[in-house]
Amino acid sequence: MMSKQPVSRIDGIAFFIIVLGILTILTPWFATQSGMDVSIFVTPMFLIIGILNIVAGLALFLVKSKT
């Protein structure tokens, strides 16, 4: 059982980075829903950036929780 610790500023930053990554991954889908033509080259870029944001947010959260 984990001990309850107060939420710190680092937790908020990690959460923000993870949410930003999720929104970045969903950006091409939102664009197609509004009628925009998404390039075949733009979509993988958004996916890669989004995945890297999620990984960075999780790493920040896990490193903070170890200390």
- The answer to whether the beta carbons of residues 17 and 60 sit under 8 Å apart is yes
pLDDT digits (tens, 9 = 90+) for 41-58: 788 899 999 999 999 999
Cα separation, 59 vs 40, in Å, equals 30
> Global pTM?
0.77
Cα separation, 20 vs 51, in Å, equals 10
DSSP 26: H
Cα separation, 43 vs 24, in Å, equals 10
pLDDT digits (tens, 9 = 90+) for 18-38: 999 999 999 888 888 888 888
Cα separation, 12 vs 31, in Å, equals 28
